[in-house]
Amino acid sequence: MTDEATVVDPPTEPETSVRDLRFDRSARWWVRGNYGPVAEEITVDDVTAVAPIEGQLPDGLQGSYVRNGFNPPGRVPRHWFFGAGMVHGIDIAEGRVSYRNRYVRTPFVEHDMDVFDAVGDLRASPANTSVVRHGGRLLALEEAHLPWELDDGLGTVGAFDFDGLLDTPMTAHPKVCPRTGELLFFGYQFLRQPWLTYHRADASGRLVQSEVIELPRPVMMHDFTITEHHAVFLDLPIVFGGTGFGFDPDAGARLGVLARNGRGDEIRWFEVEPCSVFHVVNSFETGDEQIVVDVCRIPALMREGMGDMGAQGCLWRWTIDLAAGTVHEQQLDDRPVDFPRIDDRLVGLEARYAYLADLGRADRLGFGSQVHRYDLADGSVVSHDLGGEGVHTFEPVFAPAGPDAAEDDGWVVVLAHDDATDVTSLHVLDAADIGGEAVAVVPLPQRVPFGAHGNWFPADV
């Protein structure tokens, strides 16, 4: 069943350093339980030989679910965000499931680096946050460095700098335009200017535009969003200082709107109430004068520095009035949620459905047992419980039944971890009946740690 396995040493206590960002190392929750790393890289060609599938995989579900996350191989990093990247690949073809996991073998992994070891070297990426396929390349992403290319077997090819044209970091949340095929992204920096640069690559993967956007200070900008004609940037007050990033409401908060092919100095800024946002749900235009942006809004995060990760957010809507120069802010729901996804064929366009992960309790970092489907047209919410107490969801991802399928014609694929059995399973839910029983549950041969983001890549792409 397992035709190869590589074992790495378990994490060790970090050395004391005057450069420590005052994280709570005594807790070290990011190396415990299902936050902790797995030690083996394995390949299992037939997952059903290890444990049977519950239910039946749909005939139309053909492709690969590839997920990235934090998996430190040696020293305990100073923060959850700084663990080395490990990708987990689940291939589904004609009812057969295979699994493999691999480190992204960057200098960060090969030399057991921590965050300060990698400062100043764009290639020394943990490559630990997400993956994107574009222009014939599969890229592992992390927001402070260059992307790293992987092959179809999840082996590491090398750092990718768009043929020498990319000289800034690349966000872990680029957007692929479903109409043009362009890859739109940005890079922020916190130790040297420019603090923010916007980039645009054509459908073939060729970098065709880079624009410096002036900011008054370095900020953590994890995500952004696009519409059919615009890119929208989030200049929110998680700012960089002497002890790392922290929340400073006095810095103000604003949204920047730029034409997708515009110059950096043409950006328009619109003030909002100070807050934190890790993830945007989606955005779209309503006529020529309004842009709707749905986000997971957190009132304040990192008040006490990067170790302060307790606050959670919920679903909000910003409506930008381009003519009036204002933003209407509206809370849509009070459930603690994040890791939002829509049908990727509607990125930047008006999407009716959004899928979000339940975060359990609003007063601590964690994952609940539910996946929620929001109907953004009528405000209704339908939930699916993955197993109750002790079962924890990951990010839900939509897999369409085909390239021309309706928005709710397909499946939500989501991982869940069961504390009682220490097993991670892939749950396949009917997107049109998400509150019903799972279509299939696939126990995996390797525990998958809580991490960041993944994507579904249909077999025909």
pLDDT band of 165, cuts 50, 70, 90: very high
pLDDT band of 13, cuts 50, 70, 90: very low
Would you state the pLDDT for residue 19? 35
pLDDT band of 118, cuts 50, 70, 90: confident
pTM of the model: 0.93
**Which of the two residues, 324 and 4, has the higher pLDDT score?**
324
The span from the CA of 377 to the CA of 352, in Å, is 6
Would you state the pLDDT for residue 461? 63
| Average per-residue pLDDT for the chain | 92
> What is the gyration radius of the CA atoms in the chain, in angstroms?
21
pLDDT in tens, 294-325: 999 999 887 777 777 667 899 999 999 999 99
Whole-angstrom CA distances from 96 to 153, 291, 372 are: 17, 43, 28
CATH 2.120.10.30 fits 2-458, yes or no: yes
User: Is the predicted pLDDT of residue 14 greater than 60, yes or no?
Assistant: no
pLDDT band of 287, cuts 50, 70, 90: confident
Q: Check if the beta carbon of residue 129 is closer than 8 Å to that of residue 453.
A: yes
Domain boundaries, given as residue ranges, for the chain:
2-458
